[in-house]
């Protein structure tokens, strides 16, 4: 079903068509949800299209994996897509595939809390060491490298929730000098706005729960792995695969945290409209950021699209837009808790990237798991995922939440 090659086509054409040729038997324009666990063999080993058992491969998941790889591969970048049950399942599978006890990981000091928890508390128990570093400080990153031990440099840009921007190409050079993989969590930027593989990254991670799914109705994750990247340390996967894509393929099947067919179908449906949604998300986010920046009760706004943001110039160079996420500070924890309790258009909830605007208090909600660590976030921080509603309604909602005395 994945016969047409869309290499060289524009982003939206790739996202809408790659892996999604009309069904050969019925002509169905949309890839069906293949709710089957197993496949008839034409004689032992006579597989049709390589399908044997749905943990190993399922046609709906194949369509999503092909489309995600194409979405992250501009020009002639060659890559392999893998879809998982969640973003953290994708991360877990990748780290198992490329790390061994005694290895060391460098990660951002404002990484997504769940990624930090996985690396520090799950992999830590299996002998993996880590150092949290400010990735905008390239000297500090280079100084954190441990020769013959650092195997992964984990990058998030923009970061969650502080919207830090780091230089993917420069970090790739540091990682590759050290013989380590450069892994980029591209959840906030999305494949529409940033393609880390084209900047030298080896692996892209997505929580497709967020913008790719885009409608807050499905949990999923993905890895997109550049072609022919050797496993660091030149070790081979248990099935002999010497490259990262082969090792991930082995581990995806061996540990089995795959996307189910319906989740894959919903995620693929979301991917097709990502570009148009992102255009609106970021237009609204800029309008909201500009409103907050001049509001007397707001002490700081973190949005890479603002010229006041320290990563603005780098983001303008490395991304094709600034995304729909922003955070702001309001001076005290109580003020932050009050703001998130008062909004009516913004829903108080974790997660992000859906069409509806969400607001939350990272210190007590999404980032509670990093309290007391190097990753602790300011207690007066409010994070918003700016949806695609009308910008005026979003601005007046935040206005009344910041200053209830203004409500008529
Ligand atoms: C949500 C998120 C994850 C984890 O993904 P899940 O789908 O929730 O498992 C990883 N990274 C970032 C940046 C996220 O926002």
pLDDT in tens, the chain (408 residues): 446 889 889 999 999 999 999 988 899 999 999 999 999 999 999 999 999 999 999 999 999 999 999 999 988 789 999 999 999 999 999 999 999 999 999 999 988 889 999 999 999 999 999 999 999 999 999 999 999 999 999 999 999 899 999 999 999 999 999 999 999 999 999 999 999 999 999 999 999 999 999 999 999 999 999 998 988 875 655 666 679 999 999 999 999 999 999 999 999 999 999 999 999 999 999 999 999 999 999 999 999 999 999 999 999 999 999 999 999 999 999 999 999 999 999 999 999 999 999 999 999 998 887 788 777 889 999 999 999 999 999 999 999 999 988 665
161 preceded by cis ω (within 30°)? yes
Angle, helix 244-255 to helix 87-98, in steps of 10 degrees: 120
φ, ψ dihedrals at 132, nearest 5°: -95, 125
Please answer whether residues 112 and 368 qualify as being in contact, where contact means their C-beta atoms are separated by less than 8 angstroms: no
Does the pTM surpass 0.85? The reply is: yes
Closest CA to 165 of 275, 322, 387, 363: 322
Closest CA to 144 of 378, 374, 376, 304: 374
**Residue tagged 């047409």 (tokens):** 4
C-alpha of residue 126 to centroid of ligand 1, in Å: 22
As given in the structure block, the two tokens for residue 331 are 């001076």
C-alpha of residue 20 to centroid of ligand 1, in Å: 26
- The set of catalytic residues is 55, 112, 185, 210
Cα separation of the two ends of the chain: 59
Report the SS3 class of residue 266.
helix
Strands 381-385 and 358-360: what pairing? antiparallel
Residues having CB within 6 Å of any atom of ligand 1: 86-88, 112, 114-115, 156, 160, 185, 187-188, 207, 209-210, 219, 221
Q: How far apart are CA 352 and CA 358, in angstroms?
A: 7
Supply the pLDDT for residue 407. 62
Please answer whether residues 232 and 152 qualify as being in contact, where contact means their C-beta atoms are separated by less than 8 angstroms: yes
C-alpha of residue 252 to centroid of ligand 1, in Å: 18
Q: How far apart are CA 237 and CA 138, in angstroms?
A: 31
Q: How far apart are CA 312 and CA 305, in angstroms?
A: 6
Supply the pLDDT for residue 240. 62
User: Which residue has its alpha carbon closest to ligand 1 atom 8?
Assistant: 87
């Amino acid at each position: 079903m994945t016969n047409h090659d869309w290499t060289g086509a524009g982003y939206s054409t790739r996202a809408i068509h790659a892996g999604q040729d009309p069904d050969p038997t019925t002509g169905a324009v949309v890839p069906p949800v293949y709710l089957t666990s197993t496949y008839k063999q034409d004689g032992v080993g006579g597989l049709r299209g390589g399908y044997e058992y749905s943990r190993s491969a399922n046609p709906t998941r194949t369509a999503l994996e092909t489309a995600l790889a194409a979405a992250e591969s501009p020009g002639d970048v060659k890559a392999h897509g893998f879809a998982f049950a969640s973003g953290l399942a994708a991360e877990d599978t990748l780290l198992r595939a490329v790390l061994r006890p005694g290895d060391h990981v460098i990660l951002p000091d404002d990484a997504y809390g769940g990624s930090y928890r996985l690396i520090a508390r799950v992999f830590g128990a299996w002998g993996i060491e880590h150092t949290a570093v400010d990735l905008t400080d390239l000297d500090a990153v280079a100084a954190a490298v441990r020769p013959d031990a650092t195997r992964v440099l984990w990058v998030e840009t923009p970061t969650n929730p502080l919207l830090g921007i780091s230089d993917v190409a420069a970090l790739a050079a540091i990682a590759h000098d050290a013989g380590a993989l450069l892994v980029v969590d591209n959840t906030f930027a999305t494949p529409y706005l940033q393609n880390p593989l084209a900047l030298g990254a080896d692996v892209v991670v997505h929580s497709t729960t967020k913008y790719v799914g885009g409608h807050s109705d499905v949990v999923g994750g993905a890895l997109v792995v550049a072609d022919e990247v050797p496993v660091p340390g030149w070790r081979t996967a248990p099935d002999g695969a010497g490259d990262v894509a082969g090792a991930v393929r082995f581990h995806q099947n061996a540990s089995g945290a795959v996307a189910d067919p319906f989740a894959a179908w919903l995620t693929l449906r979301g991917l097709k409209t990502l570009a148009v949604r992102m255009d609106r998300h970021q237009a609204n986010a800029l309008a909201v950021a500009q409103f907050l920046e001049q509001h007397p009760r707001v002490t700081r706004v973190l949005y890479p699209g603002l010229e006041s943001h320290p990563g603005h110039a780098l983001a303008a160079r490395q991304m094709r837009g600034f995304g729909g996420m922003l955070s702001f500070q309001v001076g005290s924890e109580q003020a932050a808790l009050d703001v998130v309790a008062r909004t009516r258009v913004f829903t108080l909830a974790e997660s992000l990237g859906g069409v509806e605007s969400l607001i939350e208090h990272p210190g007590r909600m999404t980032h509670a798991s990093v309290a007391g660590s190097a990753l602790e976030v300011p207690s007066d921080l409010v994070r918003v995922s700016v949806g695609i509603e009308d910008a005026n309604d979003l601005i007046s909602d935040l206005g009344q939440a910041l200053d209830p005395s203004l409500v008529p």
